[in-house]
Amino acid sequence: MGREVRAAAGDRCNVLISSGGRRVVLARLFREALADLGLPGEVHVADMSPLSAAMVDAASSHLVPPCTDAEYLPSMLELCGAHEIRLLVPTIDTELPVLSGARDAFLDGGTTVAVSSPGVVRIARDKRLTHEWLVGAGLPTVTQWAASDPPSDAARFPLLAKPRFGSASHGIEVLAAPLDVERLGTPDEYVLEELAPGHEVTTDLYVDAAGALQGVVPRRRLEVRGGEVSKGVVVHVPELDALASRVVASLSGPKGVLNFQSFVDPASGRIAIIELNARFGGGFPLSHRAGAPFPRWMLEELCGLPRSARDPLQYGLVMLRYDDAVFTTSEALGSGR
């Protein structure tokens, strides 16, 4: 599974959350984990914009170039070295290929990047590759077509049009008839999928450095806003536990936090996996509160502490998210910290 850097007893265990954005709760969960474990260290947050709630809320924040910029990787390596970062936690899809491909460079400086192998990241980033992996692994999924070669049978519609490299539900739309495919404009950048019946469930996974599945939390989406769950509930679906093991076994180099999205149809018993994400999901705080504190497990593993994974889950726990705010000044935003 590659090299690992273990923090020694007494070492500062500084954590860096990259692309912090609005992920205030995730940064706070890592701070709580450090405190609960009695580990010295602090949680840093990096983002390309000072107008980031997580940046303002953090004790230590850092402006970095966009992850698509050539200077992004050098700046992140320098940042991790300068602040003795032991664990780097990516949070958005677009930075995963860069950070996954540079894991060894970070390890040389003493930083473990909580990210899966480049192969897993490629599968998760590309909806066409995701479908090919699901079919090849014999995992249940929906029928998919390239938007450049859609089905001519109108009875197949309505279909879902999804950007191949999209995330957070951006650009997804329902096409009612074959003629609607023409309005996509760039069909090579889209895939078409059948609409799966049932309700949508995101299953959070924690995979340790040895590739062993240590945590599975299925949470049903009750309401979504801006592509991110705003209301959810932890559900008990034994079939998803079995599928989680098959998902991890079929991937080469899964590591840390992942999740897969599926539709579960109680009427037929059918489950169809539709997406894989190689990062924390926006609704992870629900899984954490239900008994799967992944940040704590990550730090325990990093520091060689006794494992507390596999705690029982609180099924039926409901999360109702709401907006909150942090406050700063324009002078503080301009000066950096």
User: Is 136 a member of any domain?
Assistant: no
Looking at the structure, tell me whether residues 207 and 303 fall in a common domain.
Answer: yes
Looking at the structure, tell me whether residues 23 and 109 fall in a common domain.
Answer: yes
**pLDDT tens digits for range 69-91:** 999 999 999 999 999 999 999 99
Looking at the structure, tell me whether residues 90 and 157 fall in a common domain.
Answer: no
Looking at the structure, tell me whether residues 39 and 70 fall in a common domain.
Answer: yes
Q: Which secondary structure element, helix H or strand E, spans residue 276, and what is its range?
A: strand 270-277
How much of the chain exceeds pLDDT 70, in percent?
A: 96
User: Span 306-324, mean pLDDT?
Assistant: 90
User: Is 132 a member of any domain?
Assistant: no
Of the residues 96, 115, 134, the one at which a domain ends:
115
Find all residues with CB under 8 Å of 92, minimum gap 6, and list them. Answer: 19, 21, 67, 167, 279
User: Is 325 a member of any domain?
Assistant: no
In this structure, what CATH number is given to the domain that contains residue 281?
Answer: 3.30.470.20
Looking at the structure, tell me whether residues 304 and 216 fall in a common domain.
Answer: yes
Residue 337 has pLDDT above 80, yes or no: no
Joined together, the tokens standing for residue 37 give 């474990």
Looking at the structure, tell me whether residues 151 and 219 fall in a common domain.
Answer: no
Give the pLDDT band (50/70/90) at residue 1: very low
Of the residues 194, 210, 225, the one at which a domain ends:
194
121 closest CA partner among 70, 67, 81: 67
User: Is 5 a member of any domain?
Assistant: no
Instruction: Report pTM.
Output: 0.93
Joined together, the tokens standing for residue 112 give 């473990």
User: Is 8 a member of any domain?
Assistant: no
Looking at the structure, tell me whether residues 314 and 230 fall in a common domain.
Answer: yes
User: Is 210 a member of any domain?
Assistant: yes
Looking at the structure, tell me whether residues 209 and 269 fall in a common domain.
Answer: yes
**pLDDT tens digits for range 234-245:** 999 999 999 999
Mean pLDDT score across all residues of the chain: 93
Q: How many domains are there within the chain?
A: 3
Integer CA distances (angstroms), 196 to 259, 261, 263, 268, 334, in order: 18, 12, 6, 11, 48
In this structure, what CATH number is given to the domain that contains residue 167?
Answer: 3.30.1490
Q: What is the per-residue pLDDT for 10? A: 60
Query: Cβ-count burial of 8 within 10 angstroms (0-12 exposed, 13-18 middle, 19+ buried)?
Result: exposed
Looking at the structure, tell me whether residues 108 and 161 fall in a common domain.
Answer: no
**Beta partners for 199?**
264
Looking at the structure, tell me whether residues 182 and 269 fall in a common domain.
Answer: no
Q: What is the per-residue pLDDT for 188? A: 85
Structural domain that includes position 151:
143-194
User: Is 4 a member of any domain?
Assistant: no
Looking at the structure, tell me whether residues 275 and 298 fall in a common domain.
Answer: yes
Looking at the structure, tell me whether residues 185 and 223 fall in a common domain.
Answer: no
d(CA 253, CA 1): 7
User: Is 281 a member of any domain?
Assistant: yes
